[in-house]
Structure 1
Amino acid sequence: MNVVRNKYGKLLKKDNIVVFPGALDGLIEKGLDAVEDVDYELAVESFDQVYHFDPDNMRLLAPYAVSLYETRNFEKAKEIATKLLHSGAAEYLDAMELYLAISIQLQDYEEVEMTIATLLEENIVPPDMIQKFNYLRDLNNRLASRYAISEEPMIELQEALTIEEFLANTPEVQQQIVASMENRQVEAESLKLLAEIAEHEEIHPLVVTYALVLLRDAACDKTLTVKKFGFEKAVVPTELHLPNQDEKTREVIDRISDLNEKDPSRMQMAIEASLRYGIIAYPFSWEGFSAEEVAQGYIHYIDGLFTGEKWIDSELMNLIQSIDEQTEQ
């Protein structure tokens, strides 16, 4: 046994299973290769096995947290990111960026605000990274104000409204009205209201998105004309993809990842902004622009938010800005 220990280093044992360090190194390399290939599910599969036996392995923590984040396992990602922050990692601020991005996804808005405020007040953030943390702070505040849980009870409709009655409400109340129809049988009169909402050009585009998704779920096969942001097209709800589930969106995300892989934080911000487009602009999916053009546009847009430099005025960049600003309304 001493010969084996000398050859392979310290043996690890858990659940009566002995694991050679070399085996774990091989799994880490497999996970790192998967991250490089943007195959985060495979990466998580490899890193899970390593973490089970060696949870304090410094080579593991950062790529494991990123992979969990990319596969939307935010609770576990935060656990690993917390461990990374407490590990004394040399790239502390990079680890903090990841931790904050995960916390925003978990809607831990107060924690994010307090953390960034402390970092800035105590001059922990170097001058060249202040813009980046201020953007994270602004994004957090925008989402907090938009998605904060209302103290008012959710509206429960006793009977279907007319479109005129619906329009008399604020966009926030309109969202509640449409949300109240979710997860229950939608009656014919409610389907009629949802169809009228979907075709109404002056209703907030997010409310129109909610209406279209509910019509899709209700297998509505009526042809509707939807107008958003100067675009117009006829759609049949039952034939629609869900928001961000179309091929063009997947191509845009893949291209953003390829173009900005050396700056994960900006890459993720660009991806998140493009996904917001997929929700707000639904059912439109970048008609008239290639995935390459859209990906480049989002990279320029996020770079401009960091540097303060104005991007080149164009139809695409104006559309990107217009859609992104809808999250503030």
Structure 2
Amino acid sequence: MEKDHKGPRDSKIVYFPNLTAKLVNKGMSALKQKKFKESLNYFQQLIEMEPDHPQGNIGVVLSLVELGQLEDAKVKCDEILKKDIGEYYDVLQIYISILIQLGDYEDVVEILEAVIQEQSLPPQMAENFYQLLYFSRKMAEDESQGLDVKNEIPESVSPTDLNNLESQLKSGDSKQQWQAVQSIEMPDHPEIREQLKRYLTYPDGNPSLKTIVLQMLKDGPAHETVNVHKFGKSIDIHTGDLEDIPEGQFYRLVKKIIVHELEQNNPTLLEMAVQIWDHYLFMVYPFQPEPLNEQLWAVAVLEVAHRLNGLEFDGDELQIAFSLDEQTVEEVVEKILEIERISVKDIGLPDDQPN
């Protein structure tokens, strides 16, 4: 009798139709409302039903992060990567973000070096990974060496190394330029610093890499005036006056409008729109967007985000509300799209790795 009673309980559970979709919706709704314990509960129920459900697994990670349970989020994200659940690079970005919040910079460097060496990165991810690699290397070195050691300047640099660095930086090949900057171990050495300052003036210098070089000079022990050439324009700027990226009131005003328009209706598109805005500023840095009209740039970014996702954007109401001319908006849209085209064409990625 007892055996017969247990039989049905041991049989496969049949869930209500559309229950997974309902749990996804409830979990996402709780996340948006910042009810992170509730969202975690919904997503955990979901992966109990479907262990490899992409949204369920990512939802658990995001909920844990928001609850401040970073170590648990790290373990879960590592598990997702090993099981190859969801979009690999999207999950990897979340994982790297968690590691940085935990201060595990050496792990970040190890992972990104392996990914960059072994795989052909999607253009839209590559620049971000290169930037994260550079800054994580710097943070790891600062932690291991300490401030006093970090600021020591070696007596000399090999002439061969200097010649190779100059040759790579002067080449019109973005890949060689990236490799040259990544290979620098003593960016604060006076001779290397001079090479980097000259690189900022080269017309064929990669604009994204020039931004990273500017940050290297900004973070160095000596502040000085440098000349920067980008997109046919030139500017003299003191490295001590440089802001972090992205930063500044104009950046925040544009982002505020973007968030207001998309936060409730399309949070996924919101994330991409903010990335487009961040990326544009990163590429043109230290120049300011022109003209300095936050409504104009916000509408243009929204238009680009929709276009890149194959979506229609009805911006007429916003243009009327902000008294914007359609032609002016289109001109700014083209500026942003041109940056995206340059980024894909001149990303500086390694060629596909041989098998």
State whether TM-score is above 0.5: yes
Aligned position for 2:278: 275
Instruction: Tell me if structure 1 keeps the 8 A contact 2:304–2:333.
Output: yes
Query: Which of 342, 346, 355 does residue 326 from structure 1 map onto?
Result: 342
Query: For residues 74 and 270 of structure 2, what CA distance do their matches in structure 1 show?
Result: 18
Query: For residues 59 and 297 of structure 2, what CA distance do their matches in structure 1 show?
Result: 27
Aligned position for 2:350: none
Aligned position for 2:198: 196
Structure 1 residues 305 and 281 mapped into 2: Cα distance closer, same or farther (>3 Å)?
A: same
Instruction: Tell me if structure 1 keeps the 8 A contact 2:37–2:63.
Output: no
TM-score scaled by structure 1?
0.56
Instruction: Tell me if structure 2 keeps the 8 A contact 1:35–1:67.
Output: no
1:228 aligns with 2:216: no
TM-score scaled by structure 2?
0.53
- CA shift for structure 1 position 205: 0.3
Instruction: Tell me if structure 1 keeps the 8 A contact 2:39–2:63.
Output: no
Instruction: Tell me if structure 2 keeps the 8 A contact 1:243–1:283.
Output: no
Query: For residues 71 and 286 of structure 2, what CA distance do their matches in structure 1 show?
Result: 27
Aligned position for 1:207: 209
Structure 1 residues 64 and 259 mapped into 2: Cα distance closer, same or farther (>3 Å)?
A: farther
Aligned position for 1:250: 252
- CA shift for structure 1 position 260: 1.1
Query: For residues 168 and 310 of structure 2, what CA distance do their matches in structure 1 show?
Result: 45
Counterpart of 2:228 in 1: which secondary structure?
A: strand
Counterpart amino acid of residue 223 in structure 2:
D
CA deviation map 1:167-203 (0-9, x unaligned)? 1362111112112226x45211111011111222321
Instruction: Tell me if structure 2 keeps the 8 A contact 1:248–1:285.
Output: no
Aligned residues: 238
Instruction: Tell me if structure 1 keeps the 8 A contact 2:254–2:298.
Output: yes
CA deviation map 1:286-309 (0-9, x unaligned)? 242323222211111121223376
Instruction: Tell me if structure 2 keeps the 8 A contact 1:68–1:77.
Output: no
Structure 1 residues 66 and 100 mapped into 2: Cα distance closer, same or farther (>3 Å)?
A: farther
5 Å-filtered alignment, 1:39-58, equals: 43=34, 47=36, 51=40, 56=44
Structure 1 residues 67 and 282 mapped into 2: Cα distance closer, same or farther (>3 Å)?
A: farther
Aligned position for 1:294: 297
**Larger relative contact order (C-alpha < 8 A, sep ≥ 6)?**
2
Q: Does 307-316 or 277-286 show the bigger shift?
A: 307-316
Query: For residues 281 and 168 of structure 1, what CA distance do their matches in structure 2 show?
Result: 21
Counterpart of 1:307 in 2: which secondary structure?
A: coil
Structure 1 residues 147 and 258 mapped into 2: Cα distance closer, same or farther (>3 Å)?
A: closer
Q: Which stretches in structure 1 are left out of the alignment for 5+ residues? A: 1-27, 37-42, 84-95, 109-139, 150-155
1:105 aligns with 2:93: yes
Instruction: Tell me if structure 1 keeps the 8 A contact 2:258–2:270.
Output: yes
Q: How high is the sequence identity, in percent, across the aligned residues?
A: 17
Aligned position for 1:153: none
Instruction: Tell me if structure 2 keeps the 8 A contact 1:47–1:64.
Output: no
Instruction: Tell me if structure 2 keeps the 8 A contact 1:75–1:106.
Output: no
- CA shift for structure 1 position 64: 7.0
5 Å-filtered alignment, 1:1-329, equals: 35=32, 43=34, 47=36, 51=40, 56=44, 76=73, 79=76, 102-103=90-91, 105-106=93-94, 141-143=122-124, 159-161=161-163, 163=166, 166-168=169-171, 170-181=173-184, 184=186, 186-261=188-263, 262-307=265-310, 314-328=330-344, 329=346
Structure 1 residues 55 and 69 mapped into 2: Cα distance closer, same or farther (>3 Å)?
A: closer
Aligned position for 2:6: none
Query: For residues 72 and 298 of structure 2, what CA distance do their matches in structure 1 show?
Result: 28
Instruction: Tell me if structure 2 keeps the 8 A contact 1:201–1:226.
Output: no
Query: For residues 67 and 294 of structure 1, what CA distance do their matches in structure 2 show?
Result: 32
Counterpart of 1:224 in 2: which secondary structure?
A: strand
Structure 1 residues 230 and 167 mapped into 2: Cα distance closer, same or farther (>3 Å)?
A: closer
Q: Which stretches in structure 2 are left out of the alignment for 5+ residues? A: 1-25, 47-55, 81-85, 97-120, 131-156, 316-325, 347-355
